[in-house]
Homo-oligomer: A and B are copies of this chain.
Amino acid sequence: MERIDGRTNDELRQIHIETGYVKHPEGSVLIRVGDTKVICNASIEERVPPFMRGQGKGWVTAEYAMLPRATEQRNIRESSKGKVSGRTMEIQRLIGRSLRAVVDLEAFGERTVWIDCDVIQADGGTRTASITGAYVAMVLAFGKLMEKGTIKNLPINDYLAATSVGILEDDSERLDLCYEEDSKALVDMNVVMTGNGEFVELQGTGEEATFSYTQLQKMMELAQKGVEQIMDQQKQALGKWCSHIEEK
């Protein structure tokens, strides 16, 4: 079965990362993965949440939202509903947790990095695109702190990127599902990995279906390959900051 956009099963969509997209945030990125577009802003706040005060450590937290018409059908705005959906909470917890895995929280004082991922246009893979873009925005924000002399070193241990893999109705494993594929997939798996090839998060779900250990292995292979290519794009966007990351 051919893919709707003609890709091979192990082929990513086009990725483009534009830095400095919004002028106010310390780090700001517009990431496009195929037709998915997400603005990722990183803001530095000069304090930590109450549960962390007095420990001399920093914190990284994330929020995620979609514009109401990022999708084919308009969604009701979460501010109008007066509450954040379970899906949104799940995603923003995932983004925050993933980023923290490569950050040295002890190394930038009692500060919070707020990550805001706002989906402008959605075509599948918004959560993994958010992680990939947010990583770049976060590094840029830390870079700004270095340039201002607030911190001496980049408190980042490694690269970090994410992608999705899945199993379609014809039992084929595929890399980087677009919305059309995602909505028909039997199994959907989000994988967050570091530059040295280790896993940070693995979330696989059989939507009214199951998957075998062999299938799991094949999906891991695809994900690994995809993440490596995504990191090439991140490195281009990060420019001079790469050497600071690779020192570690």
Measured CA separation A69–B85 after assembly (Å): 21
Q: Is A244 an interface residue (CB 8 A)?
A: no
- B contact residues around A23 at 8 Å (CB): 35, 121
Q: Is the interface of A mostly helix, strand, loop or mixed?
A: mixed
- B contact residues around A213 at 8 Å (CB): 197, 199, 220
Pick from B74, B97, B205: contact of A114, CB under 8 Å? B74
What 0/1 pattern do residues 193 to 233 of A give for CB contact below 8 A with B?
01001111111111111111100100010000000000000
Say whether A69 contacts B22, CB under 8 Å.
yes
Copies per complex? 6
A67-B22, A72-B24 given; A206·B201 CB < 8 A? yes
Q: Is A63 an interface residue (CB 8 A)?
A: yes
- B contact residues around A105 at 8 Å (CB): 208
Q: Is A7 an interface residue (CB 8 A)?
A: no
A84-B79, A202-B204 given; A67·B209 CB < 8 A? no
CB distance from A23 to the nearest CB of B (A): 6
Say whether A71 contacts B198, CB under 8 Å.
no
Surface stretch bound by B, among A48-56, A86-94, A145-153, A169-177:
A86-94
CB within 8 Å of B: which residues of A? 22-25, 28, 35, 39, 41, 43, 45, 63, 65, 67-72, 74, 77-90, 92-93, 97, 100-101, 105, 114, 116, 118, 120-121, 189, 194, 197-213, 216, 220
9 nearest A-B residue pairs (beta carbon): A86-B89, A78-B79, A198-B210, A202-B204, A79-B79, A41-B69, A43-B74, A25-B69, A68-B116
